[in-house]
Amino acid sequence: MYALSRGYHNNIVATNETIDGDNYIHTGDLGYYDDHGNLYIVDRIKQLLKTDGCQVSPTELESIFVTHPSIKEVA
C-alpha cells in the first residue's frame, strides 16, 4: 500500500509545483543510484543559491568555508 499526499492545504500553487500530472512528487532532493541500486540523497535542489547564473549548493559552500583557518564553525 502506498500513501500519497493530495497536496498542500489551501495552497494549489505549491501543490502544482510539487506534484505533477502523473502524481509524481518532486521533493527537491538531489541524489543518485549506485551500481547496486542503492539511493543516496546528497543535497536539496530547493536550497540552491543562484548567483551569476549559477546554482550553488550551501552544503558545498559549507564544506569549503570550514577548511578556512579563520572560520571556526559553519551551519
Name residues whose C-beta falls within 8 Å of residue 33's C-beta, 6 or more positions apart in sequence.
39, 40
pLDDT in tens, 14-60: 899 889 989 888 888 889 999 999 999 887 777 777 788 888 888 88
Count the neighbouring beta carbons within 10 Å of the beta carbon of residue 70.
Answer: 5
Helix extents (H) in the chain: 12-18, 58-65
Q: What is the pTM of this model?
A: 0.46
pLDDT value at residue 34:
96
pLDDT value at residue 47:
76
